Structure 1
């Protein structure tokens, strides 16, 4: 008779306690996904350059309209706290120093994906949809395109659009703010 092994899943609170206790350090590239500690992929130069470009682009938004945060956590549930590459957040006076952002405070979430494309699409994207994050962009460095996901449901996003070099797109939260796909993918 085979014995089924059970996983020990962690809560966000336990995850934070691991950091305070020194079990995890700031240098550990892990995020909490559905209760499991997941090692994040190393950041390659193309990925880093892409994050730098889109950060500079979105920092042009007026401060009173959005807070731009880079590779910082958002708490999407009691067992999930990913660290997306870039998030535009609703302005908050404390700049999220008293609590990590919640899905309802996310205006746009962006993942830059090279080697992590399958993981971002198959694991993280459904979590973002279930959390009702209104818009997610995946900068797909493998196919040199921008994937835009909108209309979240419990089963995923009901609208997915792909944009290629030469195309432009605007976030739902900022329809007047036009983004060149060429700039996003480099």
Structure 2
């Protein structure tokens, strides 16, 4: 019987440092190295626009990273957007840990099931308080909150209105700003 090799975060970071994975887009998920789906134009657009919008809302209260690693116990995923504690200099020697993270956002144009299931469970087990998945095709966002027993006990799907992150209840965010497609865009994702 064959069993896959389980890599530790330290092993993975050592491979990165040595350049072994330089020509691969990948992330460590529960001890396994997974290839990352190539980024399409619409995914990049949503990630860039939404991160910029969140920076405007949060200003100097948090750092907004785009597509950079975070370090969990057995994983080093690269969420599309990570909203983390300031100052940014605290991440000169390491990627953000769960205690540094306010919430995470994944943009799903071809990875919706993966983001709603595998990534949701990964982030909940790590103790990330809030997790949003933007469904590009559905023009809606699924919000996961309220950690309980290794998962989120609250799941809300929204396509309009105002939401406030748990960490910043006084910072209203317009859902349409995050999920809408530019006027005149004719192609389906």
Q: TM-score, normalised by structure 2?
A: 0.89
Distance change (3 Å), C-alpha of 1:154 and 1:127? farther
User: How far off its partner does 1:107 sit?
Assistant: 0.5
- Number of residue pairs matched? 179
Among residues 110, 116, 129, which one is paired with 2:105 in the alignment? 110
8 Å contact 1:130–1:153 — kept in the other structure?
no
Quote the residue 2:155 is aligned against: 160
1:56-111 CA-to-partner distances (Å, cap 9, x unmatched) read: 11112232x1111111111111x201000011111136241111111111111101
Cα deviation code 1:40-59 (max 9, x no counterpart): 11111111111111111111
CA distance in 2, matches of 1:112, 1:30: 17
Query: Counterpart of 1:94?
Result: 89
**Alignment partners' CA distance in 2, 1:93 and 1:145:** 30
**8 Å Cα contact 1:132-1:153 kept in structure 2:** no
Distance in 1 (CA, whole Å) between partners of 2:137 and 2:88 is 38
Larger % of helix: which?
A: 2
Cα root mean square deviation, aligned: 1.4
Instruction: Find runs of 4+ consecutive structure 1 residues off by over 6 angstroms.
Output: none
8 Å CA contact retained: 1:146, 1:185: yes
Q: Determine helix, strand or coil for the equivalent of 1:62.
A: helix
Relative to the length of structure 1, the TM-score reads 0.91
Q: Which residue is 1:170 aligned to?
A: 164
- For 2:26, the equivalent position in structure 1 comes to 30
SS at 1:18 equivalent: helix
- Match for residue 56 of structure 1? 52
Question: Is there any run of 5+ residues in structure 1 with no aligned partner, and where?
Answer: none
Q: 2:145 aligns with which of 145, 150, 153?
A: 150
Q: Matches of 1:114 and 1:152 in 2, distance apart?
A: 26
Query: Is the partner of 2:47 in helix, strand or coil?
Result: helix
Secondary structure in structure 1 of the residue aligned to 2:176:
helix
- 1:102-157 per-residue CA deviation (whole Å, 9 max, x = no partner) reads 11111111011111011111211101111110000100113211111001123411
